[in-house]
Amino acid sequence: MGSLPHVVEDCFGLLKLYSDGSISRNPEVPCPTPLLDDDSVLYKDLLFDANWNLHLRLYKPSSSTSLEKLPILFYFHGGGFCFGSRTFPHFHNLCARLTKAFNMLIVAPDHRLAPEHRLPAASDDACLALKWLQGQAAMHGKNVEDVDTWLTGVDFDRVFVLGDSSGGNLAHHLAVKLKAGSMELAPVRVRGYVLVAPFFGGSVRTKSELEQPCEAFWNLEMYDRFWRLSIPVGSTLDDPLVNPFGPCSQNLAEVPLDPILVVVGGGEILRDRLEDYATRLKQLGKKVEFVEVEGQQHGFFTDHPFSDVAEKVIQRIRDFILDNSN
């Protein structure tokens, strides 16, 4: 008789991978944040991919009318590719905050989760979400029942992408895939990308990773665990999905990119890696801004969207959107 399956990876007791490849998930939402809901923001859920039963959540200011040309902001949530949904309270609260702050239509898509669906599944799903918007835009103005009424007043020519943590990783790969001008999405036009503490890695550790600043929750071992659970079996931390400047990654010198804003907390383990990412892109002639928020740790923006610190970041993102809207 063979031995019984045993746990080989355990994420906070909420996700367990067993030696036989089986997976168990605790249905409990790992973020006991109260759900904020008021009359200033309206939201609803839509199916955007029937093949994988993927949904997204739309947010709009309750004061908006169908005559307004609302810009669009895609929000890709974090969770190490292994956790997360548009329904998680802290993601929902941030989207509501962004809706009011920017007076935009917010689109918050879900994606398939690892390890059931390892990368590039999440990246593929991010593309599907943008393609869904392209389909809506292509039918705009026609008498087609599949066009959602909330999209009758939006500006498909002013779309921005914001990704947090693993969502920031997705935003980077979208920027590279779509290239400057996002011609393959026409008539949708992405104007810029905001990467908040994007989840990158690499086999060569940075200074901040080696010293591991004292974050309240995160540590390098946790990050490595998420990578083991999410990257293709047999891959390494230098997989192009993990390391944008790894030995096997695409040469970005000849890839035209739309403007990118990188935001990172000064107390994050990934701080140096993300500064290096922005610096390398600048050296390649890309339009990149790097903003370090002194003393902040990973997740500060999502976990505390109404804080004074988050307000300063929101102001910087607002400036970025305004600067790149024409």
For the annotated catalytic residues, the residue numbers are 165, 268, 298
Tell me the two tokens of residue 238: 């230098």
What span, in angstroms and rounded, lies between the C-alpha atoms of 260 and 324? 10
What span, in angstroms and rounded, lies between the C-alpha atoms of 100 and 98? 5
Instruction: Give the start-end residues of each E strand in the chain.
Output: 7-11, 15-18, 23-25, 41-49, 54-61, 70-76, 105-109, 154-164, 190-196, 260-265, 288-293
Which one, of 318, 198, 174, 196, lies nearest residue 255 by Cα? 174
What span, in angstroms and rounded, lies between the C-alpha atoms of 242 and 249? 9
What span, in angstroms and rounded, lies between the C-alpha atoms of 168 and 184? 21
Which one, of 75, 35, 56, 84, lies nearest residue 150 by Cα? 56
Residue 195: strand pairing partners: 163, 262
What span, in angstroms and rounded, lies between the C-alpha atoms of 119 and 302? 23
Contact 195/264 with Cβ under 8 angstroms?
A: no
What span, in angstroms and rounded, lies between the C-alpha atoms of 87 and 286? 35
Tell me the two tokens of residue 113: 């989760």
Q: How many CA atoms lie within 13 A of 86 on its CB side?
A: 22
Contact 60/155 with Cβ under 8 angstroms?
A: no
Contact 278/288 with Cβ under 8 angstroms?
A: yes
